Structure 1
Amino acid sequence: MAAVTPKFKNLNGTDFHRELKRRVHNYFVENNKKSTGDFSLYFKAILFWTLYIGLYVHVVFFTPGAWWAIAECLVMGGLTAAIGFNVMHDGGHGSFSESPFWNKIAAFSVNGLGASALMWNNKHNIIHHTYTNIDGFDDDIEIKPMLRMCETQKKYKIHRFQHIYVWFLYTQLLIIWVFATDYTKYFKKKVGQVPLKKFSAFDHFAFWTAKIGYYAMMIVLPIYMVGFVNWLIGFMVLAMFAGFVLSVVFQLAHTVEETAFPVPVENTNNIENEWAIHQIQTTANFATKNKLISWLVGGLNFQIEHHLFPKISHIHYPEISKIIKKTCEEFNIKYIEHRKMRHALASHAMYLKKMGTA
């Protein structure tokens, strides 16, 4: 029997979300801007994919020296995360381009990186963005039993050390994602407790075609060209670095000391906030003044802006963040932000330590 999903209810008298949407809408109208990506985003997408493909060809077909090859695989791992943040993520939310075709192409680029676009859409766009930080529904905090991410999850003795070993676990994200969790969701037909919509024949075809294609290009062909041991070293360097970067960026946005982990009210299953306020209370920004970090992570350090307006491209987040911050101040809603990335990392570690000992 499927779990009953939580319901959000509006607080009496609040018009926070309506006012926020009005102000952000007016920003685009008054500045004659489109809310989707522009040339700067398209250039970044082309640059990242060109570098990724170029490095792949060089490593697999021209076989550089060992240390040079490892360095190139490390860069490919970084590019894997960067393409996910900048291209796939915007495309999946329909904000990469005004064109539905190019949004679809951008979204499906994750298939070329080993993950399933179909599973990502259900896990991230539908479930995570709706039930953020709600135990049992948000798959991003379901890392049991190795990690305890909130108070409602069972605590084991090993969790006393989770703030130490978590950094190694994060390096395993892409490997587990590509070879295990996509299949778990596919065969169980649900993400956490939330059932997936019925797959069409095309969905099944796309899922298996993407997986087989990735294995052929990233496992079979490289082993044939450079040998098993060389492939294994290179693939592990790529996948572990990509997994670490992906994990850290997404976890700094939601699992820090200041963010909330709301529990639905027993019997009614209601969440005691409207959806927009829930998103702000469960989400945190970091290093928003660092232009290099913002560029590399596709604006996902502006996570509050992204969760409130997922269909707006990340290139606009620095500007609309000013509007959102000001509106939060007027409505007396706490806007969570760490000025430096190292502060967010420290807060994440302290939070995990607390969950492991409290």
Structure 2
Amino acid sequence: MKRFISFILLAIMFITSCEISQSAEENDDKKAVIAAFEDYINAAKNEDTKKVNEYHLIWRNVWRTSQESYKYLTYKINKIELTKQKNGNGRDIKLAYVNVSLKYPDLNYIMSKFYKNKDFNSLVKGKSSLTQMEIIEQEISSFLKSELKKNDIKYIEKEMTVKFEYNIPIGRWVIPKDCNKEFINILSLDNYKIKGMDKTIGEIARSPITTKEEKELLISEKEEKIKNKTAKIDDYKMLLILYSPVKNPDNINFKRISQKLIENLPDYPEGYRIMTDFIYHNYPDNYSEILNYAQKGIEAYKNVDTKKYPEFVYESSRNHPMNELFRIMIDVYLKKGEKEKALDVFNKNKKIIKYWMPPANYVQLAKRLGVQW
């Protein structure tokens, strides 16, 4: 009898401990989901497109157009429901359904005043679709900043459920885009059509470059900006894309624009990486030039101002662009028969290389150098 009672007590204790453990896990998950929701909203309010893009994919130029309105959004989380289900591979995935009350500006009402007595079409006439989108982004974001400060804003109050999914590979909760279109688009102007224009803002942003004339027009617009020293980083990058098609790349202009990027934005690390990679693959015997740009690029990455260039914050990534520069420097020294210099680069930067480089690549590099990995 005593044994039976002891068995029952142990069973009760086991079941109770499992319930407590399960309850603790659920509480931790709920806290993590709340933190993820708050992180997402704060990123939206602070125009942190990189962070927002970690939760769901966005068309950045469309999103930035109405980003100012997120600063006027308020919310209250009502409840969170956690569940698990099988994915296509039969693996359990964790899901969270966040019921939230939202209050946000009525953009349709505000936009009814946009260029009410002016012809917006005259601003974009004869421009490439990309430049049209840049003008739209600039004009609307400036308009919203002014209008949202006024006291006659109309608000929409709505309760909705936002679905989160725990992404195991990156170890964080994300927002599946297909399941949350209403939430993602509450302050989007993707489907908004400006008076007098044929396409919505989203359609303009996604317009492909299909003709030679469109490509030449866009090139001339970007070149003019560089000439007038009004070009932004995206202008340089677009020109580099246009000058480097798969067939018949324009190496002369590609190199010229890369040099201009470095010359006009010497603290921007990506310029050095682009130039290093370009010379390494197109002029592989120009050892001194490759090493020069690679070294400058590494220093620029190490000293980058992440407030000015937030895209170079890599807390959750193991694919740091410095990997490529270290690998190219080591390869060049080995080709020159200067293994000691290759080893010197590796040994001085071993901690950085090991931390940021994918493990398989690191092992391969270490074996090539004949060092213990």
Q: TM-score, normalised by structure 1?
A: 0.23
Q: TM-score, normalised by structure 2?
A: 0.23
Q: Indicate the structure whose relative CO is greater, using CA pairs within 8 Å and at least 6 residues apart.
A: 1
**Which protein shows a greater Rg?**
2
Greater share of helix residues, 1 or 2?
1
